[in-house]
Structure 1
Amino acid sequence: MLSQQAIISLLTKMGDDALIIGHRNSEWTGLGPIMEEDIAFSSMAQDKIGHAWALYRVMQEHLGGQDPDQFAFMRAEKEMRSCHFVELPIGEYDFSLMRHFLFDHAEAVRYESLENTAFEPLQPFAKKFKGEIKYHLLHADEWVLQLSRGSEESYARMQQALLHCMPLALGIFETSKAHEQTLIDEKIYPGEQALQARWLDRIYPVLSKAGLNLPGIESFTPVYGGREGYHTAYLQPLLDEMSSVFKLDPTATW
């Protein structure tokens, strides 16, 4: 018998990451540096929020979880399990692009690892989401390369964005103190450290091609806390904004 609580912890953090970065990416609508980027970030935001809803639905249908809308919009900040990286405001385009690049490569290796997970209800979603994320990665890789090879200023900004983002990105791989070993032992997934290693193998070639310098991973201090319910000052205002319409009538049928 697979440990339901361990699986719930995994799906919750995955869903919460997707939900929050989806809302953050949607904030580029109307603000992108070119119209194409308005469309791209809006489309990717819809994908992310759709992934979150699907993961919450899996929990409802197979693990006795709540209605996905209630789960998304009615939890307190302390109950959220998003990493700090996805919670930060969009900032300038260099930051959002680098966050997009690092986060989507992390999602890609995560869903690849779940295609044959022992928790079978997740397998078809892992295959589907991996296919959608492939297009996110094509976008992220191309723009990282273009801007890194542009002017001296654009290169410097991309290099600085990488160094700024790396400690936060490492927080994606924060392990669950209570459930990590259970998830590994039950072959739900290979564990956060294994995923982090695969992620580094994925991003290094692109960064090298772009001419960006990534120091040894040991030189960064990972930013942890989100998986245990400790969040940035930016999350609660975002949750208030996200849930404002839903909370007017949580029982309404749309």
Structure 2
Amino acid sequence: MSNNAALKDLIIKMADDELILGHRNSEWTGLGPVMEEDIAFSSMAQDKIGHAWALYRILHEDLGGEHPDRFAFIRSEKAFQSSHLVELPNGEYDFSLMRHFLFDQAETVRYESLQNSSFAPFQLLSKKVKGELKYHTLHADAWIMQLSNAGEESYARMQTALNNTIALAAGIFEASPEHEATLIADKVYPGEKELYHRWQERIYPVLVKSSLNLPDMSTITPVYGGRQGFHTEYLQPLLKEMGEVFNLDTEASW
């Protein structure tokens, strides 16, 4: 079995992405274009934070890490391993929707690969979240296709959102040079390069149905850095906001 350091590295980057994007998605509550979208984004935000908590719990109970709440809310910005994609403000709905589509397809590919992981907690969690991820991707796919076929302006906005987001989304698959080979050799998961290819195969048919043009991926430079603790200017203010209540009394029982 892989050493604890390699497993911890994989768990933290997965959980940090879900925690941060869950918070970003929750910011659409009350602001969505239609009431049903308020409910949808709120529900998916709750799911993502739940996934993050489950991963932090594995870190705590199986690998001797800190309590999930303390780990989520007390760490410094540098200690987070979230990708740049999830840190950015929501912006316009086209950006948030495209981020939702690209991230949730990546998340689905990742959890599918963990169904056969040699690390038993990953197997259990991947089966548990399967239904939620199915809903997330169905929601994202439907809206991408609907808005891309809703007229000239709507199409242009969705294509621009894809062009502006694809390199950030590719950064989800930033590999750890220190731990990647160990995780692959021990059959914990197939590695970031393989997941990156599976993700491209997954998003392509939806983009074709939407008449959106996937940029030439061979020319895309993924936006890396987040996995190594180098973040956007937006992460620190978000962490401060997220931990505001918890840090009033870190020893309290809520």
TM bracket (short chain): over 0.9
Of 125-134 and 95-104, deviating more is 125-134
3-state DSSP of counterpart to 2:222: coil
Deviation at 1:177, TM superposition (A): 1.5
Task: For 1:44, give the aligned amino acid.
Answer: M
- Normalising by structure 2, we get a TM-score of 0.99
Deviations 1:176-215, CA, capped at 9 Å, x for gaps: 1110111101110000000000000000000001000112
| 2:177 aligned residue | 177
Corresponding residue for residue 158 of structure 1: 158
2:113 counterpart of 1:113: yes
Q: Which residue of 1 aligns with 2:167?
A: 167
How many angstroms apart in 2 are the aligned matches of 1:67 and 1:146? 42
Matched residue, 2:50? 50
Inter-partner Cα distance in structure 2 for 1:97 and 1:2:
36
Alpha-carbon distance between aligned partners in 2 of 1:64 and 1:82, rounded to the nearest angstrom:
21
Q: Equivalent residue for 2:30?
A: 30
Percent sequence identity over aligned pairs:
67
Q: Which runs of 5+ in 2 are unaligned?
A: none
- Tell me how far 1:33 sits from its aligned partner: 0.5
Counterpart code for 1:75: R
- Inter-partner Cα distance in structure 1 for 2:79 and 2:190: 25
Q: How does 1:45-124 map to 2 (within 5 A)?
A: 45-124=45-124
What residue identity is the alignment partner of 1:15?
A: A
Q: Corresponding residue for 2:201?
A: 201
Residues 90-112 of structure 1, C-alpha deviations (whole Å, 9 max, x = no match): 00000000000000000000000
Deviation string for 1:204-244 (max 9, x for gaps)?
Answer: 00000100011220121110000000000000000000000
The Cα RMSD (Å) is: 0.6
The one-letter amino acid of 1:181's match is A
Q: Which residue identity does 2:218 align to in structure 1?
A: E
State the distance in 2 between where 1:222 and 1:192 align: 12
CA distance in 2 between counterparts of 1:237 and 1:183 reads 33
- Could you state the TM-score of these two structures normalised by the residue count of structure 1? 0.99
Structure 2 partner of 1:252? 252
AA matched with 1:98 = M
What secondary structure does 1:114 align onto? helix
Which stretches of structure 1, 4 residues or longer, exceed 2 Å deviation after superposition?
none
The whole-number CA distance in structure 1 between the counterparts of 2:130 and 2:161 is: 26
What amino acid is aligned across from residue 241 of structure 1 in structure 2? Answer: E
Superposition deviation, residue 2 in structure 1: 2.5
